[in-house]
Amino acid sequence: MITQMHFQERLLQWFRKNQRPLPWRRHYRPYEVWVSEIMLQQTQMDTVLPYFKRWMKAFPAIESVARSDEKRVLKAWQGLGYYSRARNIHQAAKNIAERYAGKFPESFEDILAIKGIGRYTAGAIASIAFNQDRPIVDGNVLRVLSRIYAIRKPIDVEKNKEIFWKLQESLIPKGQARYFNQAMMELGALVCSPQNPSCAICPVSQYCKANQEKNPENYPVRSRKRKTVKIAASAIVIEREGKYFIRRRPEGKIMGGLWEFPEWKLAKNRSLSLKTIRQKALILATKEFSMNCETIKYLGSIRRNYTYFLEKLDVFTVELPDSAILAPITAWPHVWVSKKEFNKYPFSSAHAKIAGLILQ
């Protein structure tokens, strides 16, 4: 169709002039594209950029990731969240080093078989790194397509997603997948935003049915909206002889492999006073560690948001006598560390903030 060809030309022309100078776009190295795509899952671009640069400095090639231990990998990832992504990269790097001599595979099927890579990421690597005519559909592309075609099928219904994959595949100009896929994503990120889209400067607004209907914010359509769950939680910093107790979360649990100060979830969608939280934290700590203490001090409060959860984490401290013995009832690995040693251990972002409170 002549209209589709014009759409493609306008979008590609706009992308050439307006694309952001992202570091993985300099050479389109498969390794860099892979890491960037994994980092960008569930994470905003502005957050990812400094982490990407730091990662590439620490691990400039697949072999350097493969040779590293998990502790160093998780430390480099600290603050990005969803730590299984980092562990998957680590394991996949070992497999690529062993099976492909450290060279990232080009075949779409081989890419898809890599640990931690699904249909979207495989398509992104195949199209962006190797310029193969493979579609990719992320949140930005979903939004752009739903508005261009005024698609009223809810995007959060699994069977409807295939509509968008087929549409995107049909739109890719042969031999231009690298730039066209990125252009669609870039349009969604910079122009076709969820609220207040910049239709006046959109390079393809004349092809957009939602723009013609003058209701772009009605798209994409969703069948339901999940409610946010509010969580009340507490953490305790246990100090003895100038050292602090931290423990390592077991593999298979959320944030497995990361170190933390002991914490507990206390309530969902229920407000608790600071006095109540303090009492619950003291009871739980006494039970968990068989330690004899009567008073704990308030250190500060940390808020963390993830998926559909809003959590308020109140942090307390307790200083044990030099002779006190701690007897944890859980078998998690644990160590006593000084303040100077905090930077050797990978914490979640919330517990890195707790370490920051202690350092202050």
The Cα 84–Cα 211 span in angstroms is: 40
Based on the domain organization, do 279 and 196 belong to the same domain? no
Six token digits for residue 82: 């969803």
Instruction: Name the residue range of residue 261's domain.
Output: 229-359
Mean pLDDT over 329-350 rounds to 89
For residue 128, CA distances in Å to 37, 43, 266 come to: 10, 19, 45
* Predicted confidence band of residue 306 (pLDDT cuts 50, 70, 90): confident
pLDDT of amino acid 2: 47
Binning pLDDT at 50, 70 and 90, where does residue 16 land? very high
**1: pLDDT strictly greater than 60:** no
Judge if 239 and 207 occupy the same domain: no
Does residue 201 sit in the same domain as residue 252? no
The CATH code of the domain that includes 264 is 3.90.79.10
Do 65 and 197 share a domain, yes or no? yes
How many CB atoms neighbour CB 311 within 10 A? 16
The rounded distance, in Å, linking the Cα atoms of 323 and 343 is 27
pLDDT above 80 for 291 = no
pTM of the model: 0.80
Domain boundary among 218, 242, 270: 218
Residue 282 has pLDDT above 80, yes or no: yes
User: Which three-class secondary structure string do you get for the chain?
Assistant: CHHHHHHHHHHHHHHHHHCCCCHHHCCCCHHHHHHHHHHCCCCCHHHHHHHHHHHHHHCCCHHHHHHCCHHHHHHHHCCCCCCHHHHHHHHHHHHHHHHCCCCCCCCHHHHHCCCCCCHHHHHHHHHHHCCCCCCCCCHHHHHHHHHHCCCCCCCCCHHHHHHHHHHHHHHCCCCCHHHHHHHHHHHHHHCCCCCCCCHHHCCCHHHCHHHHHCCHHHCCCCCCCCCCEEEEEEEEEEEECCEEEEEECCCCCCCCCCEECCEEEEEECCCCCHHHHHHHHHHHHHHHHCCCCCCCEEEEEEEEEECCEEEEEEEEEEECCCCCCCCCCCCCCEEEECHHHHHHCCECHHHHHHHHHHHC
Structure confidence at residue 225 as a pLDDT band (50, 70, 90): confident
Output the pLDDT for position 286: 84
Instruction: Choose among 304, 300, 301, 299: nearest CA to 350.
Output: 304
Same domain flag for 153 and 43: yes
Residue 284 sits in the same domain as residue 138: no
Whether residue 251 sits in one domain with residue 182: no
Question: Model confidence over 105-152: pLDDT tens digits?
Answer: 999 999 999 999 999 999 999 999 999 999 999 999 999 999 999 999
What value does the mean pLDDT of the chain take?
Answer: 92
> What's 61's domain CATH number?
1.10.340.30
Say which residue, 256 or 167, is predicted with more confidence.
Answer: 167
pLDDT of residue 294: 66
The answer to whether residue 223 is domain-embedded is: no
User: Can the peptide bond before residue 220 be classed as cis, meaning omega within 30 degrees of 0?
Assistant: yes
Q: Are residues 205 and 241 in the same domain?
A: no
- Residue 251: per-residue pLDDT: 80
Whether residues 278 and 150 fall in one domain: no
Positions annotated as catalytic residues are 37
Q: Which of 190, 218, 246 is the C-terminal boundary of a domain?
A: 218
Domain end call among 218, 252, 287: 218
Q: Are residues 237 and 202 in the same domain?
A: no
pLDDT given at position 287: 85
